[in-house]
Amino acid sequence: MLPAVVKLCCGISYPHLRSMAGLQRMAVAVIGQEMTHVQQWRRTRLPEWMDQMGLRAGLSHTESKTENRRPVTLNQEQQLFVQQGQEAMRRALDILEDKEGWQTEIAEDNGDVICSKVMAGARRVFRLEAILEASAEELYDILFVKVEEMHLWNPSIQHIKVLKHVGPETVVTHEVSAETTGNLIGQRDFVSVRHSCKDKSCIYLGGAAIQLESFPPQKGFVRAEDGPTCIIIEALAEDSRRSRFTWLLNMDVKGWLPKSIVNQALPRAQLDFTRHLRRHLTAGPTLG
């Protein structure tokens, strides 16, 4: 959904819906369109590297849950946030599905691998793959539900504040990175929309930077932009207490830093974040 802020700060729009009358009708349509898109994407468009993870399973668990939901009334601003979150999710999944152009950047002894590819505009995006000793629900709780507590276990983060709750699947956050030793990029802040989507075996967290008139750039910070970005958390078939963690990091740090420095710092930030997350998981249970 998220992007979770890392070393700097740790990332489905349906235009025709905007013309539909009725806020409840809009909310129901958004949920239905999202499930249809993700189901189609997983059934027909997954590349081999994700197909091997077992992500072609159906969405029956999620579909049964959405059928029992009552229509949610959203105002126009909330509708926009939901659409922005879904659009970020869709675009991030499209990046991950494209098999062309990926090259290995880092391969750790513990099996963590980071690959990168160059997108339009010469921006480089990074994909981390790792196995974590935690269930998908536990990671969802840490990375989405308790996102405001992330600074307690990740020293790269000064704070994350939820500015707006838009139902259970979408939030708007403000994030500030910490001034830590070795941070090549420096302190940044972000305003982002985060969106989540669940099915039986996977949890998707997507997000992207947004403009929020009520929260303009803050004095003393460079307002960076993340996204579209996403995290895919998949329970391992052989052990649901462990999860495959796939994270697309896509970030424009702004400022005048050379691309060579940024492209070194971002994958290292992914490794640092994953290391802190593992330590947090080892420290004790996170679900009540």
pLDDT for the residue 51: 43
Q: Dihedral angle at the C-alpha atoms of 199, 98, 5, 164, nearest 10 degrees?
A: -50
pLDDT for the residue 82: 92
Neighbours of 266 (CB within 10 A): 24
| 5 falls within a domain | no
> Residue 286, class by beta-carbon neighbours within 10 Å (0-12 exposed, 13-18 middle, 19+ buried)?
middle
* Closest to 4 (Cα-Cα) out of 201, 282, 229, 202: 229
pLDDT for the residue 71: 56
The phi and psi torsions of 54 (rounded to 5 degrees) equal: 80, 30
| 124 falls within a domain | yes
| 191 falls within a domain | yes
pLDDT for the residue 135: 95
CB neighbour burial string for 212-243, b if at least 16 within 10 angstroms, e if fewer: beebeeeeeebbbbbbbbbbbbbbbeeeeebb
CA–CA gap between residue 115 and residue 129 (Å, rounded): 9
| 20 falls within a domain | no
pLDDT for the residue 285: 56
pLDDT for the residue 72: 64
| 288 falls within a domain | no
| 232 falls within a domain | yes
* Structural domain for 181, as ranges: 42-283
Mean pLDDT of successive 10-residue stretches along the chain, which has 288 residues? 36 33 37 47 39 35 41 80 93 93 95 94 91 96 96 93 91 88 73 91 93 83 87 94 96 85 91 96 68
* Confidence (pTM): 0.75
| 35 falls within a domain | no
CA–CA gap between residue 266 and residue 112 (Å, rounded): 15
pLDDT for the residue 226: 85
Number of domains in the chain: 1
Q: How distant is the alpha carbon of residue 161 from its chain centre? A: 16
Q: What is the DSSP string of 99-138?
A: -TT-EEEEE-TTS-EEEEEE-GGG-EEEEEEEEESS-HHH
| 18 falls within a domain | no
Give the CATH number of the domain where residue 179 resides.
Answer: 3.30.530.20
The phi and psi torsions of 22 (rounded to 5 degrees) equal: 95, 120
* Closest to 129 (Cα-Cα) out of 34, 249, 253: 249
pLDDT for the residue 3: 39
pLDDT for the residue 114: 97
